[in-house]
Structure 1
Amino acid sequence: MVHQSCRGRRELLIMSLRPALVCFLLLSLTRMAESDDCDGTADQVQFCKVGDNLKLDSSSNENVKWTFDGKTTNLPSTVNHDDSDTQKKVLKLDGLSAADSGKYTATYPSGAKNFLILVGAVTCPAAGECKVVKGSSIEMDSGAASETVAWTHKKTPGGPDTSIPTINFPDNNKKKMGLFNLNADNAGTYEAKYPSGEPKTTKTFTVSVQDPITTVKIEGDGSVCAGGKVILKCEVTGDAKDVTWKKNTSPQTTNVDGKVMTINGAKPDDAGEYTCHAKSYLGGQPVDSPRFPLAVSAAVDCEKQQKGTNSSTSIINNNEEEDKKGNAAARAASCSVALVVMTSLLQLCWMV
């Protein structure tokens, strides 16, 4: 009986733990899938996802020196090599982020290999303008199946074609193209044409480069009398796609015209802390302004302040009048002294 009782309890325990074990296994599999290996290929671009683990193999039998060219020229601090890889033939980088996008170069005595890695690149569609923040990475897909694609780039309409390095393509067919660390020189029109015969299919991509948002702040008068007018301006350094406003934690849509909020006939209920939120273009980060406190004084309090200001002004005026009278008296006394001195001098002259 005791043996059967223990076995029953064990089976109940297994049954109760089974859902938890299933969830654990599913989560483990999901994390394994999310952290895929992203293996680079020499002289080609490789598109990786954020969180992937990077592996670059120089295939060299010599000592290798690795360098990086991205937003900085410093190799990411988490770059590592296996302990057995004393020649540093293989570079590894776990948990990729957008900041790891760039060109990795393996240099050794007999040569060098370049690997272009783009992490979390913005996908630019063929239709419309693709507005991307400076320093970002982009991916453009021609949509070709197996045809070889010919790409061209013009900085300005009607201008000359600029060359596109082979390393910006992931394969020889050039179905896709990638760019990293975008700047003004990368803006313009890109065309993908295929197949080689007629008629050709053309996909056009228009890319513009925007400045990143660095600072956001609210300018305006932080105190107003009830019934007065309030104008708050959201000052943004950089290019913002959109600006939204909040009072305390509540979104504000009335009295708002983009970067300007205007409150006519302010009421005490309008007092609070205001913030503006600047939304970035693709590849950038949004930025919130510091809280801006707005105080709305009651009409009675404003009248008291105005009366106090008027009385102090009249005191200042009275003081000015007294100063004028004092100065006139001083001038009259000076004149009297001068007359006495002149009279004394004349008397001395006559006596002589």
Structure 2
Amino acid sequence: MKLVTITLLLFVHTADLTSSNCDGVKDQVVFCAADSSLKIEAPDTGYAWHFGTANVAVDSALTADPTSKKLTGTLAAKHTGVYLATKDGSPTGKFTIIVDAVTCTKNEECQVGTGSSILLNSELGNGADSWSLTKGDSSVETLGDDPPKFTAEKKELGLFNVQKTQSGTYKATKSADNAEFPVTVSDKTPVSVASVKKGVGCVATLECEVTGDAKTIEWTKDGAKLTSKGKTLTVDDKSAPYACEVQGYHGGAAVTSASFPYTYAAPEAVSKVTIERTASVLTCTADGPVKTWAWLTFGNVPVTASDGTVDRDPSKFNLASGAKGEFSCKVTDCQDNTKSSQFLRVGGKVDPTGTPTGAGGTTTPGAATQGTSCSVALLVISVLIELYVVMMM
């Protein structure tokens, strides 16, 4: 008999832990997970249900029992908001339901996107006496109760569809105790797609490409979660399927990429390097992974500030205004072999020594070229004089 009782108790306790019910509470906020079952009891018969305002019907996915008026259905993020039990066109019961809220932690920066829902738990004994918001301009706003924002005794604060103007420090106060939550609301785009591609370079990497703004990126290898986080994952020489899981700023379930079947292959040597120009940017391309990039002028002399600057992407070179000469890029591959591109002429013609030419193709005079020019001019004059003397004879 005792064994049966214990078994039944364990069964009941387990059922409580795995319950996916979400019961609305009048004049309070309730936090629910997506796909949980909503249940809101109407105050009495003869009531109708509305969403947000007294003239907007609830979503068709939710159903009101024709007799008891109980509102039920399976929840999704779009069902976040205030439900009104109305009678004779006037709301007499308000129930806030927030689906998949982002939980913010005390004393830690909480970044969310516009339109997000947030949950702030004061953890103050039996709850807080009051909540306030201090904004960036130091103005303080006392948070009222309407629409329902709090759980019982104001222990937890719930907000939905937050906007940038709601950024600031939220503070729960009870006697001498308080809890603060710095929240930043920014224009973040929800994450819609994630995919994995093989990285380039001498170190074997994978990259997670995301459509939208990612808050966190985690990785799995053969279905097991890795400790490494971030957009780029360094992998070993073992072939395996990988996937990235992306969490956005708007809460909800993480977006997971399709499994990427990574196959290890040793980096190949570079055999060809080319250089192209688009407007004022030179781009160097190699047919294999590159360890280092170097930009050179005629005579394999490193570029200087007067020539331009190397981009954050070292395969690109930003030409300075009026830069002239011939430019090349040299790469070092993963086997420490070097390969250079052909020289690309910039800013018109150059003379055989690589000296930049001025407008119209004339050589820009310098200390070395002025003497040569004078000698050539004297020689031409001498030849003309001799021709003149011969013609006069």
TM-score, with length taken from structure 1: 0.55
The residue type equivalent to 2:232 in the other structure is: V
Q: 1:151 corresponds to which residue?
A: 131
Could you say which structure has the higher strand fraction?
A: 2
* Paired residues of 2:248 and 2:254 also in contact (CA < 8 A): yes
- Aligned to 1:27, the other structure's residue is in SS state helix
Aligned match of 2:63: 79
Equivalent in the alignment of 1:56: 41
Q: C-alpha distance in 2, partners of 1:69/1:191?
A: 26
CA separation of 1:29 and 1:134: change in aligned 2, threshold 3 A = same
C-alpha distance in 2 between matches for 1:23 and 1:40: 32
CA distance in 1, matches of 2:121, 2:226: 39
Q: Which residue of 2 aligns with 1:45?
A: 29
Aligned residues: 264
How has the CA–CA distance of structure 1 residues 73 and 157 changed in structure 2, closer, same or farther, with 3 Å as cutoff?
A: farther
Cα distance in structure 2, aligned partners of 1:147 and 1:245: 38
1:1-352 to 2 correspondences below 5 Å: 23=7, 26-27=10-11, 30-31=14-15, 34=19, 38-41=23-26, 43-47=27-31, 51=36, 53-59=38-44, 62=46, 64-69=47-52, 74-75=58-59, 77-81=61-65, 83-85=66-68, 90-93=69-72, 100-109=79-88, 111-113=90-92, 114-119=94-99, 121-132=101-112, 135-145=115-125, 149-156=129-136, 158-159=138-139, 161=141, 164-170=144-150, 174-195=154-175, 200-209=176-185, 211-220=189-198, 232-245=206-219, 258-261=230-233, 269=237, 273-280=241-248, 283-290=251-258, 291=260, 296=265
Which amino acid in the other structure matches residue 93 of structure 1?
A: T
Q: Which amino acid aligns with 1:289?
A: S
* C-alpha distance in 2 between matches for 1:250 and 1:45: 36
Deviates more, 1:241-250 or 1:104-113: 241-250
Q: 1:214 is aligned with what amino acid?
A: S
Q: Which runs of 5+ in 1 are unaligned?
A: 1-14, 307-352
Alpha-carbon RMSD:
4.7
TM-score (norm 2): 0.50
Residues 100 and 252 of structure 2 are in contact (CA less than 8 Å); yes or no, is this contact kept in structure 1? no
Q: Distance in 1 between the 2:240 and 2:191 partners?
A: 26
Contact preservation (8 Å) 2:131, 2:142: no
Deviation (angstroms), 1:98: 5.4
Q: Would the aligned equivalents of 2:215 and 2:248 in 1 still touch at CA under 8 Å?
A: yes
> What's the CA shift string for 1:210-254, capped at 9, x where partnerless?
6432222234579x9xxx66564322233434334456557778x
State percent identity of aligned pairs.
28
Larger % of helix: which?
1
Higher gyration radius (CA): 1
Give 1:103 shift: 0.8
CA distance in 1, matches of 2:16, 2:198: 52
